[in-house]
Structure 1
Amino acid sequence: MGKKQEKAEKERIKRLEAFDNYYSAIYKDRYIKLKEALLKDNEAVSFSQNLISEYFLDRASILVAQLLPLKEGDNVLDMCAAPGGKTLVMLSKMNGNIYLTANDRSRDRKQRLDEVIRSHIPEQWQERIKTTCYDASTWGLHEKEVYDAILLDAPCSSERHVIKSEKHLAMWSPSRPKRLAIEQYALLASAFDAVKKGGYILYSTCSINPEEDEKVIEKLIKRKESLFDIINFDLEFSEERAYGRIILPDSANNLGPLYACLIRKKDE
């Protein structure tokens, strides 16, 4: 091993130790089993209901995407939609009978989203779907109280990728969840402005970090508590958090991780 490789390996070990220490402080003795589960391959399942071809995704994603209350004719926003699995689940649930805007801020990811929609969605649904490429954190400035329902599957630490990928591990640091939590709250506040009174927001992440999950909801409570309700729901394989529920792979047959919280903006 050359000096450059040796240095890179030392840096990798250092980051992994920092990662383990960070999450051990949160999960205590449970972290050992949780880490073992995160390191295992998460087998994707086929989803094809009402679609023209099957799409493979984590079963936890299917369960969570189905939580958003929808009715025929609703105007729906998927704020961070790529690669598009949850988008397909929502459209399938309503047999295409909603008006859906699927957004992603990355042009490359938006192109992938376009391809997923083209190759899986029946042609007769297409006129009710549009895809966009905007920074969703400013969405509420331009479209206030427009949407009946919003899915915010927020960018997150995605620890399952971090722990298994040298590329993702190299991007991780103990300060990264704090930076992401700021971004996540900006997206949630934007969604809150964009949803109609009486409308629903489903906030979700694939993070195991409370800073990016229930503490983001807690921040919204501190600022807008009188303006919304948190809606309780049943979610298979999940466990309760202070706000919302989470599916963790060590206790959910290797599904997830996936956190979800459903809120309803009050009518008055």
Structure 2
Amino acid sequence: MAKRKEKVEGRVLFDTYYAKLYQERWETLKQALLVEKQPTAFSETLVKPYYLDEASILAAKMLGVQTHDAVLDMCAAPGGKTLVLASFLKDGGTLVSNDRSADRRRRLKLVIAQHLEEAMQQRITVTAHDATKWSLYEKDAYDRVLLDAPCSSERHVLSDPKALAMWTPARPKHLAVTQFAMLASALEAVKVGGYILYSTCSINPMENEEVIEKLFARRAGRVECIPTDNNCTELCSYGSIVMPDAQQGKGPLYFCLLRRLS
């Protein structure tokens, strides 16, 4: 009986929380989130195609990697965005792909090995650092940083009865704290004048534009937001979001491009 009550309460809490955020849009958005994703094949410079959400490809490309950049993918597993970033690098470019989880790192290494030519693999380093503490390892080291931060992933929660049963409003609050710590660390890792792309697959503003807003408040004068308007995104107070109810199932994917000023 207790488990049944927990399951009902989690579902009700989740539904009430997001209905308050999205009001009359919520039912349509929820139905779009429940539809199984149709991944897109990405194959540029790859040995074989890798299938991922088209919105993820768009976000990774928004970082604007140049041929000889030093690039950091702070939370890289399972590896799709790492492959997109690698497709822009030439002989002088390097890529550090990081994930703290040993299991996710194994998957990341396999994806890299199966999809990239040997010469490109040699320019990718897989690391196991805690992204919230990156500035303890390196500072002012990268031209571009992708931070695809761990998030609420509401699409996953809705499709997983166990995750939905356990959901509480404390989850996004806890994640937002971690996300800000990672973003603040990314700001120290990137070079002055370099770029950070912050992204999540959450629809929660607390984990998206409010994390960026917090960075501007606590690192005033050190960073600026670079516009990335696109015909398949919706503008937020900071950055943009791809929403599945408006874009034939793509996303959700929030992203914001930042440039370090000092």
In the TM superposition, what is the alpha-carbon distance from 1:209 to its structure 2 partner?
0.2
Aligned: 1:20 with 2:15: yes
Name the residue aligned to 1:214.
209
Aligned: 1:146 with 2:128: no
In the TM superposition, what is the alpha-carbon distance from 1:168 to its structure 2 partner?
2.1
Name the residue aligned to 1:81.
76
Name the aligned partner's letter for residue 216 of structure 1. Answer: V
In the TM superposition, what is the alpha-carbon distance from 1:103 to its structure 2 partner?
0.2
In the TM superposition, what is the alpha-carbon distance from 1:8 to its structure 2 partner?
2.8
Distance 1:260 1:186 in 2: 17
Say whether the 8 Å CA contact 2:197–2:256 is kept in structure 1.
yes
In the TM superposition, what is the alpha-carbon distance from 1:9 to its structure 2 partner?
3.3
Name the residue aligned to 2:222.
227
In the TM superposition, what is the alpha-carbon distance from 1:61 to its structure 2 partner?
0.5
Distance 1:203 1:74 in 2: 18
Name the residue aligned to 2:158.
163
Indicate the SS of the match to 1:66.
Answer: helix
In the TM superposition, what is the alpha-carbon distance from 1:167 to its structure 2 partner?
2.9
Q: Superposed, which structure 2 residues align to 1:225-264 within 5 Å? A: 225-264=220-259
| CA shift in 2, pair 1:143/1:15, >3 Å | same
Indicate the SS of the match to 2:77.
Answer: coil
Say whether the 8 Å CA contact 1:74–1:98 is kept in structure 2.
yes
Aligned: 1:201 with 2:196: yes
Say whether the 8 Å CA contact 2:68–2:90 is kept in structure 1.
no
**What whole-Å deviation, never above 9, does each CA across 1:116-175 have from its counterpart, x for those lacking one?**
000001111121111011111111122111111100000000000001102322442111
Indicate the percent of aligned positions where both proteins have the same amino acid. 51
Give the TM-score taking structure 1 as reference length: 0.95
Indicate the SS of the match to 2:100.
Answer: coil
Distance 2:121 2:31 in 1: 42
Q: Which moved more, 1:230-239 or 1:113-122?
A: 230-239
Say whether the 8 Å CA contact 2:69–2:89 is kept in structure 1.
no
Name the residue aligned to 1:108.
103
Aligned: 1:38 with 2:33: yes
Distance 1:96 1:52 in 2: 17
Where structure 2 has 5 or more consecutive residues not aligned to the other structure, the ranges are none
Indicate the SS of the match to 1:173.
Answer: coil
| CA shift in 2, pair 1:208/1:96, >3 Å | farther
Indicate the SS of the match to 1:65.
Answer: helix
Say whether the 8 Å CA contact 1:91–1:97 is kept in structure 2.
no
**What whole-Å deviation, never above 9, does each CA across 1:5-60 have from its counterpart, x for those lacking one?**
x5433322221111000001110111010001011111111111110011110111
Indicate the SS of the match to 1:235.
Answer: coil
In the TM superposition, what is the alpha-carbon distance from 1:228 to its structure 2 partner?
1.3
Q: How many residues are aligned here?
A: 262
Name the aligned partner's letter for residue 51 of structure 1. Answer: L
Q: Which moved more, 1:146-155 or 1:233-242?
A: 233-242
Q: Superposed, which structure 2 residues align to 1:112-191 within 5 Å? A: 112-191=107-186
Distance 1:42 1:173 in 2: 25
Indicate the SS of the match to 1:52.
Answer: coil
| CA shift in 2, pair 1:171/1:14, >3 Å | closer
In the TM superposition, what is the alpha-carbon distance from 1:98 to its structure 2 partner?
2.0
Name the residue aligned to 1:3.
none
Q: Which moved more, 1:219-228 or 1:169-178?
A: 169-178
Indicate the SS of the match to 2:188.
Answer: helix
Name the aligned partner's letter for residue 215 of structure 1. Answer: E
Indicate the SS of the match to 1:225.
Answer: coil
